[in-house]
Every structure is written in structure tokens, then in C-alpha cells.
């Protein structure tokens, strides 16, 4: 008993030290956001030019947050968080950025605690939390004020999973209620969290091991009966997910945000989804050329679609076979596939083919697979623990460096848009945004070039055409008509 008590004390002390180290590292890496500006892409719509947010927390604005469908979204908790920021920081972007970082850090700590409590493995759980906290793919969710909904929904989502795992262990009804409440708050921050009940079912399989029951066999009939019981346990969560999905589809549909099948046919969506899944995997393991917008291509090469489908099929088959012994592989893979489903493009909102921010929660599934998988591979090796520590250290150092670099692109509009154009092609929306940013700085020649480039890519870009006309008029006013050549389209 004394030995168990000492081991528990050591584990708690190590947990505390790891949390402190994680807080210090993430704070240091993200400290540069205190010099970042608001981004014209959505930050103005969400915060700067939103009169309800700009007026702070008032009764009228609270009612608006719960009843409005502003910017084709219903996420009242997110609106309230922006209002609270304005109350404390006004329109100083530093405070708004710092809030995102704080929520991101808290989410990382809750993820660590949830995994540790449910798996019993402190070091593996810590590494997954570190990957989540320091991966450059997650910069977009943290450094973009308008993506407050991303970090906020993850915070409540992880909190819900933590309460749920504690409920499973302790069977205390209040923990079930706290898990449900956290889940509802997460849905009211961003509806992408609708897949969380499925994640709970996956966690029941591993690491909570609830599909097997003492005194019962392990046949298909017993497994199915147990699964049905576990599903019933989550009917309230599933009901909330359905309600959130219905509200989201209604709001985005009536706001015109959802693209019709006439604009983007179903076949194109399925093809893009298969490619996007593979690209998300690729950017998780090779996080380079990250951008705020990856435009939807006008056509998708057939070979790329076929290769993507083959890769997904081979990976799924291999994981199912290996998952018979290593359940974490199946759970991690399905975590990744399922949590991406709401934003994979089958219901297309916006013009993007994929987005870094969409990987914020899904990437955890891949992190779990790699962390537990590599650890298992090195078991039995003479220097396995040393190799594992070395690999973990190199991974964290590399990701930290890449995250700092990626953060530097988010310091202002021009830096962000120029980087995006360097790593993407035919991105007329970003050309237009860059043109506007340059025009605001008085760099009219450069702005005109960007507007012209946007129209070359997409002659139907009305905003680029309008902004080009304004820029040309300003040039004529400053330098006379002889200084400007009117382009022909």
C-alpha cells in the first residue's frame, strides 16, 4: 500500500511538472501574437466591425448572441467570449490574441488530463498533448481571432470527454451531467463538435474497455448487446448533436452559405473529400506550405482521386487487421475520419477545398496512433526508452520551430496573404484581399496588380473588379489619366 501511495504521489508530481513545462513552452512559442494585428479575413466581420460585439456585454447583446444567425453561424458562446474580450481589452488586438492562446493552453492541459486518466499512461498522454499544443497546423485556429470558435469548442469538447471518462470510472450522475453541459457549451461554440458522441463510443472501446463485460462472453451477439447499451447511454448527447446539426444546416442554408450541387456537384465533392483526407494526413506529418485558404480546384485529376482512395483503403485495411491486437489504432483512425466528416466538404460551405483549422481536433486521432504505435514498436529493444525519448524530443523541437515560423506569417494582412499566394495557386480571393491591404497602405500600383491577377484567375470576381475600379480612380486622381492604363478583360 505504501508503494502504491508513493507511485501515485510521483505520478501526480510528474503530471504537475509536465503541465508547468507545457504552459511555459506554449506561452513562449505563441508570445509573438501580442504584436499581431486583426486580420481583414473575418476578424473585421466577427469583431472589429460587429456593432454587437464592439459594444461589449449588455443584455441586448446577450439576447442577440442567442437569437442571431450572423455570418451564417449560430454560436452564442463564441459571441459572448468576443464581447467579454471587448469589455476587458477594447479593440486592442493583443488581448483578443492572448485569450485564444490561453484557451489553447487550457485545452492542451485538459486533453493531457483526459488521456492520462483514461489510459493510465502519463508520458504517452503528455506527448499527444504536446503535439496538439505545438503543431503548426493548429496555428490557424489559435492565431486567428475569428477562429475563437475553434479553440473554444475544443476546450469544452475535451472537458466533456474528461467528465465522461470520470463518470465511467466513478458512476456519479453529476459527472454525466457536467459532461453533457460541457458538450452543449461546445456545440454552442462551434457545431463541428457534433461527432463527439461517436468519439465517446470509440473511447468506450479503447481505452475504457466497456464493450467487454465481466461474466459475459466476447461473441458478436454479446458485443452487439453491449454496444446497444452504450449507445443508449449517449442518446441525450446524440439528440443534442442532431439538434445542433439541424440548426446549423438551417442557418447556413437560409444565409446562402451552403453551396448547391449545381455549383459544386456531388461527384466533385466526394473526389475532393478523398484527396483532402490524404492531404490532412500529409500535412500532419509534413506541415509545410500551410495557408489560410486552399481554393477549390476547377477540376481534379483522376489519378489523384484514385491514388487517394487506394491510400485510404490500404491504410484502413491495415489498421483493421492490426487493430485486433492494438485497439488504439482503430480508435485513432476512426477519431480522425469521423471528426473530419462535418467539414470534409460533402456539405460544402465556402470556397475552400480544405482548411488547416479543420484539423484542430481530428489530428488528435493520428497523434494517438503514432504515440502508442511507436512506443509499442520499440518495446523490447535494449535502448527502446532512450530512442523513444530522443524521437519525442526531436519531434517537439522541430514542431516548435515550424510553429514559430508559421506564426510569423500571421502578424498582419500583407504578410499572411503574400505567404498564402506563395504556397497556393489560382487563389483569386487572396489576391483580392492582398490588393485591398496594399491599397489601404497607399501602394496603389501593387494593389492594381493584385486585382488584375484576381480577375485573370476568375473574371467573375465582382469584389476584385469593384476594388480595381476604385484603385484606378484613386490613381487618376493622384497622378492624372496618363499615368493609368485601363486594363481590358
Q: What's the confidence (pLDDT) of residue 5?
A: 62
Tell me phi and psi for residue 353, to 5 degrees: -90, -25
Q: By C-alpha distance, which of 461, 150, 449, 177 is closest to 295?
A: 461
Same domain membership, residue 88 and residue 110: yes
Among the candidates 384, 413, 442, a domain finishes at 413
Beta partners for residue 19, in sequence order: none
Same domain membership, residue 453 and residue 354: no
Same domain membership, residue 440 and residue 310: no
Half-sphere exposure of 271 (CA within 13 A, CB side): 16
Which residues of the chain fall below pLDDT 70?
1-8, 213-218, 480-489
Same domain membership, residue 147 and residue 78: yes
Same domain membership, residue 432 and residue 289: no
Is residue 244 in some structural domain? yes
Number of domains forming the structure of the chain:
2
Is residue 488 in some structural domain? no
Among the candidates 413, 440, 474, a domain finishes at 413
Is residue 421 in some structural domain? no
Is residue 419 in some structural domain? no
The helix or strand, by DSSP H or E, that contains position 358, with its residue range, turns out to be: none
Same domain membership, residue 458 and residue 376: no
Q: What's the confidence (pLDDT) of residue 223?
A: 77
C-alpha span between 364 and 34 (Å, rounded): 27
Same domain membership, residue 444 and residue 329: no
Q: By C-alpha distance, which of 157, 256, 139 is closest to 197?
A: 157
C-alpha span between 1 and 21 (Å, rounded): 30
Same domain membership, residue 103 and residue 247: yes
Same domain membership, residue 163 and residue 79: yes
Q: Angle at which helices 122-134 and 93-119 pack, to 10 degrees?
A: 160
Tens of pLDDT along 240-252? 999 999 999 999 9
Q: By C-alpha distance, which of 104, 107, 105, 111 is closest to 125?
A: 111
Q: What's the confidence (pLDDT) of residue 488?
A: 40
Is residue 51 in some structural domain? yes
State the average pLDDT for the chain.
Answer: 93
Tell me the CATH number at 468.
1.25.40
Q: What's the confidence (pLDDT) of residue 2?
A: 53
Q: What's the confidence (pLDDT) of residue 482?
A: 52
Is residue 307 in some structural domain? yes
Tens of pLDDT along 37-69? 999 999 999 999 999 999 999 999 999 999 999
**Domain range holding 452?**
426-483
Among the candidates 354, 388, 413, a domain finishes at 413
Q: What's the confidence (pLDDT) of residue 209?
A: 92
Cα 414 to its chain centre, rounded Å, is 23
Instruction: Assess contact for 378 and 388: CB atoms under 8 A.
Output: yes
Q: What's the confidence (pLDDT) of residue 215?
A: 42
Same domain membership, residue 383 and residue 434: no
Instruction: Assess contact for 410 and 144: CB atoms under 8 A.
Output: yes
Is residue 113 in some structural domain? yes
Is residue 489 in some structural domain? no
Tens of pLDDT along 99-122? 999 999 999 999 999 999 999 999
Same domain membership, residue 469 and residue 394: no
Which grid coordinates are listed for 188? 454552442
Same domain membership, residue 458 and residue 388: no
Amino acid at each position: 500500500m505504501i508503494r502504491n501511495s508513493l507511485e501515485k504521489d510521483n505520478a501526480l508530481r510528474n503530471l504537475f511538472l509536465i503541465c508547468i513545462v507545457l504552459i511555459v513552452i506554449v506561452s513562449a512559442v505563441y508570445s509573438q501574437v501580442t504584436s499581431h494585428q486583426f486580420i481583414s479575413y473575418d476578424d473585421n466581420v466577427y469583431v472589429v466591425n460587429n456593432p454587437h460585439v464592439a459594444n461589449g456585454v449588455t443584455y441586448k447583446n446577450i439576447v442577440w448572441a442567442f437569437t442571431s444567425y450572423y455570418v451564417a453561424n449560430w454560436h452564442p458562446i463564441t459571441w459572448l467570449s468576443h464581447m467579454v474580450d471587448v469589455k476587458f481589452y477594447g479593440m486592442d488586438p493583443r488581448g483578443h490574441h492572448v485569450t485564444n492562446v490561453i484557451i489553447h493552453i487550457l485545452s492542451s492541459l485538459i486533453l493531457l488530463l483526459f488521456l492520462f486518466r483514461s489510459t493510465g499512461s502519463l508520458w504517452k498522454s503528455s506527448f499527444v498533448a504536446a503535439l496538439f499544443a505545438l503543431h503548426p497546423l493548429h496555428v490557424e485556429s489559435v492565431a486567428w481571432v475569428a477562429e475563437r470558435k475553434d479553440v473554444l469548442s475544443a476546450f469544452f469538447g475535451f472537458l466533456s470527454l474528461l467528465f465522461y471518462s470520470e463518470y465511467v470510472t466513478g458512476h456519479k450522475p453529476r459527472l454525466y451531467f457536467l459532461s453533457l453541459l460541457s458538450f452543449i457549451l461546445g456545440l454552442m461554440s462551434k457545431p463541428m463538435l457534433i461527432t463527439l458522441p461517436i468519439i465517446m463510443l470509440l473511447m468506450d472501446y479503447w481505452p475504457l474497455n466497456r464493450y467487454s463485460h465481466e461474466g459475459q462472453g466476447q461473441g458478436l451477439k454479446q458485443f452487439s448487446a453491449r454496444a446497444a447499451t452504450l449507445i443508449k447511454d449517449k442518446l441525450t448527447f446524440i439528440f443534442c448533436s442532431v439538434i445542433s446539426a439541424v440548426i446549423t444546416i438551417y442557418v447556413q442554408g437560409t444565409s446562402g452559405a451552403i453551396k448547391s450541387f449545381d455549383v459544386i456537384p456531388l461527384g466533385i465533392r466526394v473526389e475532393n473529400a478523398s484527396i483532402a483526407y490524404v492531404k490532412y494526413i500529409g500535412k500532419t506529418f509534413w506541415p509545410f506550405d500551410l495557408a489560410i485558404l486552399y481554393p477549390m480546384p476547377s477540376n481534379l485529376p483522376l489519378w489523384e482521386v484514385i491514388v487517394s482512395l487506394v491510400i485510404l483503403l490500404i491504410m484502413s485495411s491495415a489498421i483493421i487487421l492490426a487493430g485486433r491486437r492494438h485497439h488504439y489504432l482503430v480508435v485513432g483512425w476512426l477519431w480522425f475520419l469521423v471528426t473530419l466528416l462535418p467539414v470534409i466538404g460533402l456539405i460544402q460551405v465556402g470556397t475552400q477545398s480544405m482548411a488547416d483549422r479543420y484539423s484542430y481536433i481530428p489530428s488528435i486521432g493520428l497523434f494517438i496512433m503514432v504515440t502508442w504505435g511507436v512506443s509499442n514498436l520499440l518495446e523490447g529493444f535494449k535502448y527502446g526508452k532512450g530512442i523513444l525519448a530522443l524521437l519525442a524530443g526531436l519531434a517537439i523541437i522541430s514542431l516548435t520551430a515550424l510553429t514559430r515560423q508559421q506564426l510569423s506569417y500571421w502578424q498582419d494582412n500583407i504578410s499572411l496573404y503574400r505567404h498564402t499566394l506563395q504556397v497556393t495557386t489560382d487563389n483569386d480571393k487572396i489576391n483580392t484581399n492582398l490588393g485591398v491591404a496594399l491599397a489601404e497602405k497607399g501602394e496603389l500600383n501593387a494593389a492594381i496588380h493584385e486585382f488584375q491577377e484576381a480577375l485573370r484567375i476568375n473574371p467573375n470576381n465582382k469584389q476584385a473588379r469593384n476594388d480595381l475600379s476604385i484603385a484606378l480612380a484613386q490613381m487618376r486622381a493622384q497622378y492624372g489619366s496618363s499615368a493609368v492604363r485601363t486594363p481590358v478583360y
